[in-house]
Amino acid sequence: MSDTAQHDLIQRAAERLRNSQRPAVLTGAGVSKESGVPTFRDAVEGLWAKYDPMELATPGAFRKNPKLVWDWYEYRRGLVRTAQPNPGHDALAALESRFPGLPVITQNVDDLHEQAGSTNVIHLHGNIAESKCFFDCQGSPTLIDVSQLEWDKENGPPACPHCGRWVRPNVVWYGEMLPGDQLQTAMLASQRADVMLVIGTSGLVSPAASLPGVARHAGATLIEINPDYSAITRIADIKLDGPSGEIMPRLLAALGD
C-alpha cells in the first residue's frame, strides 16, 4: 500500500475515533511482539511453531507432566518479566486522556498494558505472573504467592499450602472456561462499543475471537491494526496494515492527542 493510501486510512480511523462515545479495544499477542514477547502463530518465531499446545497448555498435559508444563511457564515468565511496554501499548494508554477508563480487552497474559498506564484492562486468558492451586481448593481462583514458598524445583511445581496438591500458573488452558466475570465485562464492553480497535490478534481462538463480531453486530465500526491478514480482516471496516508500535502512535497523532 502506498504511503498516501495508508495516511488516508489512518485519517479515516482517527475521524471515526474522534466521533466515538464508547470505544473498546481487543488486543492479542501481536501488540506485545515489539516488546520481545513471542506471538503464538508466527510461522517461524511463534510459540506454537516450536511447541505443541496440547503438550503444554491443557489440564491433561499438566496432569501428565507437571514439571514440563511448570518449567515452560517459568521460561515464558522470564520473557515477560524483562519486557517493557512498546509504543503501541503507550499510545493505547495515552488514548485514555480522551476516553477515560477505555476498556482494553486482552488475550495476553502479560501486564504490559497496565505497565503502560491503561487502567481498565480485562484479562480473558489470565495473568502469567500469578499462580493458583490446580484444584482451586479455596474457591476460584485460589491464588498462591509462590515467592513465599520453598520447594525443590527439580521436582516440578510447588505444593499448594492449603491442600498439598500442585500449584499451576493462573492462565486459561485449552479446554478450560474463561474467567466468567472478565468474559461478561468484555461482552458488555463489546456490545456497548461504537468503535472497536482490534490489534494484533489472529482471531482464531474463541470466545475472544467472537467479540469483534459482537461489536459489529451491535453497530460498531471495526478498525483492525495488524501487519498481516487475520480472521477479523474480512469484517473490519478499516484495516491499518503494520505493526501496532508504528501504527498506534500515528493514529494518536492523527487524533491530535
Q: Which of 16, 89, 113, 125 binds ligand OAD (CB under 6 A)?
A: 125
The active-site residue, picked from 89, 125, 162, 217, is 125
| 7 has catalytic annotation | no
- When asked if residue 168 is in the footprint of ligand OAD (CB under 6 A), the reply is no
Tell me the per-residue interface mask from 126 to 155 with ligand OAD, x by CB under 6 A, - otherwise.
------------------------------
Provide CB contacts within 8 A for 89, sequence distance 6+: 31, 32, 35, 112, 113, 115, 116, 118
| Helix-helix angle 244-255:3-18, to 10 degrees | 60
3-state DSSP of 118-130: CCCEEECCEEEEE
DSSP for 44-88? TTSHHHHS-HHHHSSHHHHHH-HHHHHHHHHHHHHHHHT----HH
Question: Residue 221 pairs with which residues in a beta bridge?
Answer: 195
Site residue total, ligand OAD (CB under 6 A): 29
Q: Which of residues 169-208 bind ligand OAD (CB under 6 A)?
A: 172, 199-202, 204-205
Nearest to 95 by CA among 189, 12, 22: 22
Among residues 70, 244, 250, 252, the one that binds ligand OAD under rule CB under 6 A: 244
Site for ligand OAD in 13-72 (CB under 6 A): 28-31, 33-34, 39-41, 46, 53, 57
Annotated catalytic residues are: 125
**Residues engaged in binding ligand OAD (CB under 6 A):** 28-31, 33-34, 39-41, 46, 53, 57, 107, 125, 172, 199-202, 204-205, 225-228, 230, 243-245
